[in-house]
Structure 1
Amino acid sequence: MAGVDGEWDCITKSPLGEQKSVFTVKSDGGSFTGSNVGAQGALDVIDGKVDGNKLTWKMEMKVPMPMTLDCQATIDGDTLTGTVGAGAFGAFPMTGTRKA
């Protein structure tokens, strides 16, 4: 599981433009904790799950409007690819690279 652990420099392509953030993952068996910190503030990982190199989690966004984000990502070495689901607004692609 440790292959998913670390800090990731991420970009999410949203309707508001590219949102840069640092996504932190700390796995513990089949679950993980962490946060996603960007210009809009810090969002804690909720219900983080690890299945091999696949992650799923939720985040409670407050700005610009309250919403639960449904997220998933796949880790391949030092590369992260996934999506951030924003309900009726659709899903936005998220990419990242592991910080050294």
Structure 2
Amino acid sequence: MSIDGTWNVTIDSPMGKQQGVLDLSTDGDKVTGTGQAMGTTMEVVDGTANGDEATFALDFTRPMPMRLDFRLAVSGDSIAGEAMAGPVGRWNVAGERA
């Protein structure tokens, strides 16, 4: 199953569960798109795809500047994995195709 599409996701962060939307597209092994969370839309950077798995980053500006590195896998209409926030830690991510 492809990671292409729009995903409603929840990130289990230290500030509680954060809702977001990922709009992802692949072209070969490259992932592009946007992420929306906390009232901000960010461009996907450094995105790669390998089968049903993808890695990419989003550069957040709120509530503080930080890069989240995502590692996600698709299973049917579900997506799950983790977001890594450097020294802040790893957070679970889960969602469904919109």
**Which TM bucket (shorter chain)?**
over 0.9
Give, in angstroms, the shift of residue 39 of structure 1: 2.3
Q: What is the letter of the counterpart of residue 48 of structure 2?
A: K
Runs of 5+ unmatched residues, structure 2: none
- Map 1:26-37 to 2 at 5 A: 26-37=25-36
Residue identity over aligned pairs, in percent, reads 32
**Alpha-carbon separation, structure 2, partners of 1:8 and 1:75:** 10
Give, in angstroms, the shift of residue 31 of structure 1: 0.5
Runs of 5+ unmatched residues, structure 1: none
- Map 1:1-100 to 2 at 5 A: 3-99=2-98
Report the TM-score when normalising by structure 1.
0.92
State whether residues 38 and 62 of structure 2, in contact with CA within 8 Å, keep that contact through their aligned partners in structure 1.
no
**Alpha-carbon separation, structure 1, partners of 2:89 and 2:23:** 24
Q: What is the letter of the counterpart of residue 13 of structure 2?
A: S
How many residue pairs were aligned? 98
**Alpha-carbon separation, structure 1, partners of 2:38 and 2:59:** 15
RMSD: 1.2
**Alpha-carbon separation, structure 2, partners of 1:68 and 1:4:** 21
Q: Where do 4+ consecutive residues of structure 1 move more than 2 Å?
A: none
Q: The residue matched to 1:75 in structure 2 has which SS?
A: strand
Give, in angstroms, the shift of residue 84 of structure 1: 0.8
